[in-house]
Amino acid sequence: MRKTIMPSLIKGVAAAVLLVVAGCAQRTGLQEYKQTRTYFDTFVTIQCFYAADTDIDRTMEKCWQKLEGVNKTMNAESPLGYVSRINEFGFYGVQVSEDVYTILKEAVAFSERTGGAFDVTVYPLVRLWRTAAEAGSLPEEAALLHAKNVVGYRHILFEEDRTIRLESEGAKIALGAIAKGFAIDAVGSVLEAAGIEHYLIDAGGDIRVRGKNRGKTRWNIGIRDPRKKDHVMTVLQLTDCAVTTSGDYERFYTIDGKRYSHIINPLTGYPQERVISATVIAPTAIAADAYATAVMVLGAEKGLELIDSLDNVEALIIEQTPDQTLTSHSQNFPTHKK
């Protein structure tokens, strides 16, 4: 783990979001497709460069359909999806789609790898803190204890015929921490199956890139400080990987004037403190998404220990203490360029 303090960040509370920095245009004979739609309460952009013989209309239709499907079935708040069905009837067992079965298997694997810092069964605690924030007072200890007791990824049982059972009554899941990552990986697979080698998919901070921008240069991904909106902290030049930022800057709770993160530590039942932003680069978007959430919970020291133990996964973490902003990164995090 390397620890540095970025002087430019000390002034204000800094956090990062990802943005795509325009690349230079060069002639390659490739054609460009770029469109933005709204899913997961955010903007999703697909940009790709494709050869003239690609069936681009059909391919893009499949991509948008995939996003539509994941958005509908994996949202815990949508009464129609599998996640809601699991949350209502999971104790008795619910047969789910292949996608939902797969994402839950992956979710449990990420829980195991992060020592439970990432846990899709944390939803009862998320709801408790959300309700507390709406009421303007901290949750009651008894309610916290009760919610904490039903949380635990080991309560998810994988049974025959793609049936999911939640062993503990009252257990509930939410896939918000990985659904976007899962979805853009799936879109990437659709593009690759159609022979498209150069693309960028950006789902509001979850980005997956392959090949080159305009078939020529690596993709420039800026990490910016949203509390100083025009300030790009660093630009990453990436290819064939995914990058995600999880932060407390967009979604947080305020109770009694104090700001609480929307990321909950499943082991304590309390919102994580200190980490205001975690950017993770990984081979897949679901991994970047899951590790970004986990690192928020683990903090810089333990988080970077985990990241440094993983192949091809790097992280940049920003912490806020009462008097300073600390930035640290994993051993091979790409050196910054401004």
Which residues here bind ligand AMP, judged by CB under 6 A?
118-120, 122, 126, 174, 176-177, 246, 262-264, 266, 289, 293, 297
Taking the complex as a whole, the smallest distance from the CB of residue 110 to Mg ion amounts, in Å, to 10
Tell me whether residue 172 or residue 198 sits nearer to ligand AMP (CB atom): 172
Query: From the list Mg ion, ligand AMP, none, which binds 186 (C-beta under 5 to 8 Å, kind-based)?
Result: none
Taking the complex as a whole, the smallest distance from the CB of residue 292 to ligand AMP amounts, in Å, to 6
Sheet of 275-282: strand order equals 2-4, 325-329, 314-320, 275-282, 241-247, 206-210, 198-203, 42-50, 31-39
Q: Is 119 among the residues that bind Mg ion (CB under 5 A)?
A: no
Tell me whether residue 155 or residue 198 sits nearer to ligand AMP (CB atom): 155
Tell me whether residue 180 or residue 210 sits nearer to ligand AMP (CB atom): 180
Binder to Mg ion among 248, 289, 314, 319 (CB under 5 A)?
289
Q: Tell me the C-alpha distance between 297 and 300, whole Å.
A: 9
Question: Which residue's structure tokens are 């932003």?
Answer: 277
Tell me whether residue 284 or residue 293 sits nearer to ligand AMP (CB atom): 293
Tell me whether residue 81 or residue 176 sits nearer to Mg ion (CB atom): 176
- Beta-bridge partner residues of 37: 44
Q: How far is CA 22 from CA 34, 95, 227, in A?
A: 13, 44, 22
Q: Is 293 among the residues that bind Mg ion (CB under 5 A)?
A: yes
Tell me whether residue 118 or residue 199 sits nearer to ligand AMP (CB atom): 118
Helix, strand, coil % in the chain, rounded to nearest 5 = 35, 30, 35
Taking the complex as a whole, the smallest distance from the CB of residue 309 to Mg ion amounts, in Å, to 19
Integer Rg of the chain from CA:
20
Q: Tell me the C-alpha distance between 202 and 43, whole Å.
A: 8
Taking the complex as a whole, the smallest distance from the CB of residue 278 to Mg ion amounts, in Å, to 9
Q: Show the tokens assigned to 128.
A: 């408790």
Query: From the list Mg ion, ligand AMP, none, which binds 120 (C-beta under 5 to 8 Å, kind-based)?
Result: ligand AMP
Question: Which residue's structure tokens are 């305009």?
Answer: 214
Query: From the list Mg ion, ligand AMP, none, which binds 176 (C-beta under 5 to 8 Å, kind-based)?
Result: ligand AMP
Query: From the list Mg ion, ligand AMP, none, which binds 15 (C-beta under 5 to 8 Å, kind-based)?
Result: none
Q: Tell me the C-alpha distance between 239 and 218, whole Å.
A: 6
Taking the complex as a whole, the smallest distance from the CB of residue 260 to ligand AMP amounts, in Å, to 11
Q: Show the tokens assigned to 98.
A: 């292949």
Q: Tell me the C-alpha distance between 17 and 224, whole Å.
A: 5
Binding residues for Mg ion, rule: CB under 5 A, are 177, 246, 289, 292-293
